[in-house]
Amino acid sequence: MLTEKKRLLTGLQSSGDLHIGNYFGALKPFVEIYKEYESFLMVADYHALTSVRNPEALRRNTLNVVRDYLAAGVDPEKAVIFRQSDNQDHTELGWIMNCMVTVPFLMQAHSYKDKVAKGIEPNAGLFTYPMLQAADIALYNIDTVPVGEDQRQHLEYTREAIGKFNRAYGETLKEPQEMILDGVGVVLGTDGLKMSKSYRNTIPLFGSTEEIQKAVMSIVTDSTGDRPENVYAIHRLLKSAAELDPIYEANKGRYGDLKKLLTADLEAFIAPMREVRATITDEMVQEVLAAGVDKAKAVSHVTLKKVRSAIGID
């Protein structure tokens, strides 16, 4: 891995099976650019604890997230793929970052307020989530983090925490910049809201043909319009407006037929990756994670040593 490359980090929670919102919002953009950077790809299982209370599910989900990355085309020789909980530097720096910010500051986080409004338990981990995220990024001296426009605040929180640390203890941690990805924004779920496992409105990324069909047929439509906007918005992830507009015009008001077309296009898109995924064993995933965390620690230990010295606990 070339050290002169800038560093990039992204990650996905192991809180459940990945859906197409994860793919188009994070996985696909990463696959398209990661070779241009010294890339770190993290399975965020500590973050998943804000919602997951089933240990077997968490273990299974962690392996599946890595399997999904590999099936989507990530080469483990060209990215550092690791599990967050395998490196305790994350929780130590996360606590230090918590001490840098105030409660009113954390209360302004959009993601926290949105999830609580949806009835998700407002546990302390969910509340301080942005500071563990700040630690995830700061540990690896990351230059850039690819995000959609709706995630810009995440990076603003990270920079704020790092800035407070540096002002208090001297220039120690690097402030990252967000990479706002063109065409990547909020991927709508089956109910017209942001697609999220927490909201149970997802279309599974590697689901069976039947599971994909069931999810698509459940998409909420507005019977007063000629075009089912929720269906169209998801379809636009796969095809251009120039391709879709004549089809939707020809099938005006025939929502069931349009959902069948979307199902067919999703199946055609997902099937090749699903076939590759079926060949990736748990043993292969474990080998990737073991190699990845060694590389991750080689970087994070250096950062944490500087932090501990700066705050006086070395």
Q: How does pLDDT run across 212-235, given as a tens digit for each residue?
A: 999 999 999 976 677 999 999 999
Low-confidence ranges of the chain (pLDDT < 70): 1-3, 150, 181-185, 223-224
In this structure, are residues 45 and 58 in contact, taking their beta carbons and an 8 Å threshold?
Answer: yes
Task: Examine residue 193 and state whether it is found in any structural domain, yes or no.
Answer: no
Q: How does pLDDT run across 24-58, given as a tens digit for each residue?
A: 888 888 899 999 999 999 999 999 999 899 999 99
According to the model, what pLDDT value does residue 77 have?
96
234 and 93 in a single domain? The answer is no
In this structure, are residues 297 and 89 in contact, taking their beta carbons and an 8 Å threshold?
Answer: yes
What is the CATH number for 64?
Answer: 3.40.50.620
Q: How far apart are the C-alpha atoms of 126 and 269, rounded to whole Å? A: 34
228 and 303 in a single domain? The answer is no
In this structure, are residues 43 and 84 in contact, taking their beta carbons and an 8 Å threshold?
Answer: yes
Report the candidate in 294, 314, 309 with the shortest Cα–Cα distance to residue 40: 294
Q: How far apart are the C-alpha atoms of 150 and 111, rounded to whole Å? A: 10
Task: Examine residue 81 and state whether it is found in any structural domain, yes or no.
Answer: yes
Tracing tokens 């630690």 back to the chain, one arrives at 135
158 and 233 in a single domain? The answer is no
According to the model, what pLDDT value does residue 57 have?
95
132 and 72 in a single domain? The answer is yes
Looking at the chain, the whole-number percentage of residues with pLDDT higher than 70 is 96
Q: How far apart are the C-alpha atoms of 16 and 59, rounded to whole Å? A: 10
The reported pTM is 0.86
Q: Which domain holds residue 256?
A: 207-276
Task: Examine residue 237 and state whether it is found in any structural domain, yes or no.
Answer: yes
